[in-house]
Amino acid sequence: MGSSFFTPATDILVSRCHTWQFRGKKKVEGSFGAQAKGAIGVPVYGRRVQREDGMNPFEKLIPWLGKFHPAAVHFPIGLLVAAAVAEVLFLVTRRPSFAAASRFCVWFGALTAPLAGLLGWCLGGFQLTDRYWVLATHRWLGTCTIAWTIPLLVLSEASRGPGCQRAGPWFRVTLFLGAALVLLTGFFGSAVIYGLDHYA
């Protein structure tokens, strides 16, 4: 297997990089000072710029799968945050429909989180360190989020039904903290592309 499979993500990703056409010339700007070739007039968001010459099909498959990470992460982020909102509404109204919605979102979010995380590792490369701390923070917050969904799912099921009142508070604490964690992970994910000041 060639070394390109383990190429650090910051060597092949262009952060906050846009290209514009000015009188037939190409201008590239990036928050990390990165330079890359892209289609004129087309934003380059996390586009891989490494050469693929000499790569075997498996080495090409991994980065291709990683391209689905930005789309896949919307599922666990939206579902786990929705679970927290539904749980708050259940506490306020005591309507069983909100408890059912929370349970469904927890299950669906916990099942999609590992897939989104795996695609993220495919996109960022399989290494433990990164050149930029923003990318490293996003990588490990995302990995922690995946691990967090395991006790969350267990506590969610343990808190259902009669005689399970003790598990309820632990489930809600885990859910609310995890919702904050997944939002923080998403923030650093967008910061990898747009920069830390993208909400400024």
pLDDT digits (tens, 9 = 90+) for 150-170: 999 999 999 987 777 788 999
pLDDT in tens, 101-127: 999 999 999 999 999 999 999 999 999
- Taking the model in full, what pTM does it have? 0.74
Closest by CA to 123, choosing from 175, 21, 48, is: 48
More confident residue, 28 or 193: 193
User: Taking CA 103 as the corner, what is the angle to CA 101 and CA 106, rounded to the nearest 5 degrees?
Assistant: 110
Task: Please return the burial class of 133, using the count of CB atoms within 10 Å of its CB with bins 0-12, 13-18 and 19+.
Answer: exposed
**Mean residue pLDDT across the chain:** 80
The SS3 of residue 59 is helix
Confidence of residue 52 (pLDDT cuts 50, 70, 90): low
Task: For each of the domains in the chain, give its residue range(s) and CATH number, in order of start.
Answer: 3-55 (no CATH), 69-194 (1.20.120)
Token duo for residue 111? 């099942």
Q: What is the pLDDT of residue 165?
A: 77
Element (H, E) at 21: strand 18-22
The SS3 of residue 118 is helix
